[in-house]
Amino acid sequence: NIKGVLFDLDGVITATARLHDQAWQSIAEKVQAPWTPALQASLKGIDRMHALELILQAAGVAQAYSPAEKQALAAAKNQRYLELVQQLTPTDILPGIRVFLDQLQQHGYQIALASASKNAPTVLHQLGLAAFFPKIVDPNTLTKGKPAPEIYQKAAALLHLAPDQCVGIEDAAAGVAAINASGALSVGIGAAQELAAADVVFASTAELTLPHLQQVFGGGVR
């Protein structure tokens, strides 16, 4: 029986995926990486330093930057991202998410956050959702980011549940892979072809309701 729901943050709870994109784009321009849709998609769900590596590789200059220069680029990205995050308000919660969180709470489901973002507490605070998420995996404790299952295993463990007692929700292919590898059920939010590995894909968070999950996963979800 499903007892817990594990949430990704960026692109699931709020549209910050766009803000990460915007902040990375300025870095991509700085290092002259071609800012293609494929490169953008590959950054989703990936932790900050690995995302930077992907951009430097796309520019063919991964060797040209010293570790200190890479740290400086990552810090510049984060500074830009934090400026953008300051503008977030509860109106930036994606459609249906607030109601879904209420439904989960009312029905006694436990919830946890499984985001690679070190800025997750700040973002949740801006959105007015911090009270829903006392259980957040600290990305600093991870030895491997998504697509490795570790973050979803830790999120389930925070709830004292096994992964197969949980549903994970993700907008990124790397995140869906992480959920699947952990043994939890996976819900993808977005384009079916990008998220084909998910157990079920919803085009939008508006489709994310408890009755809908019950319909899709049957007896597993009360």
Q: How far is CA 186 from the centre of its chain?
A: 13
Half-sphere exposure of 63 (CA within 13 A, CB side): 1
3-state class (DSSP) for residue 209: coil
Which of the ranges 31-39, 47-55, 100-108, 180-188 carries the binding residues for ligand G6P, by CB under 6 A? Answer: 47-55
Query: Among 142, 128, 106, which residue's Cα sits nearest to residue 222?
Result: 106
Answer whether 120's CB lies under 8 Å from 113's CB.
yes
Q: Which of 25, 40, 57, 78 binds ligand G6P (CB under 6 A)?
A: 78
* CA dihedral of 10, 163, 136, 7, whole degrees rounded to 10: 30
Size of the site for ligand G6P (CB under 6 A): 16
Residue 166 interaction partner, one of Mg ion, ligand G6P, none, beta carbon < 5-8 Å per kind: none
- Specify the residue for token string 């489709």: 207
Active site residue 171: no
CB atoms within 10 A of CB 188: 26
Position 10 contacts Mg ion (CB under 5 A): yes
Position 145 contacts Mg ion (CB under 5 A): no
User: Which residues in 95-114 contact ligand G6P (CB under 6 A)?
Assistant: none
Q: What are residue 80's phi and psi, to 5 degrees?
A: -60, -45
Answer whether 177's CB lies under 8 Å from 196's CB.
no
Q: Which of 3, 47, 57, 206 binds ligand G6P (CB under 6 A)?
A: 47
Active site residue 10: yes
Position 10 contacts ligand G6P (CB under 6 A): yes
Q: Which of 14, 110, 117, 153 binds ligand G6P (CB under 6 A)?
A: 117
Position 18 contacts ligand G6P (CB under 6 A): no
Residue 156 CB, nearest distance to ligand G6P (Å)?
Answer: 18
Which amino acid belongs to residue 109?
Y
User: Which residue out of 8, 138, 164, 171 is catalytically annotated?
Assistant: 8
> Which residues of the chain form contacts with ligand G6P (CB under 6 A)?
10, 17, 20, 43-48, 51, 78, 115-119
The residues annotated as belonging to the active site are 8, 10
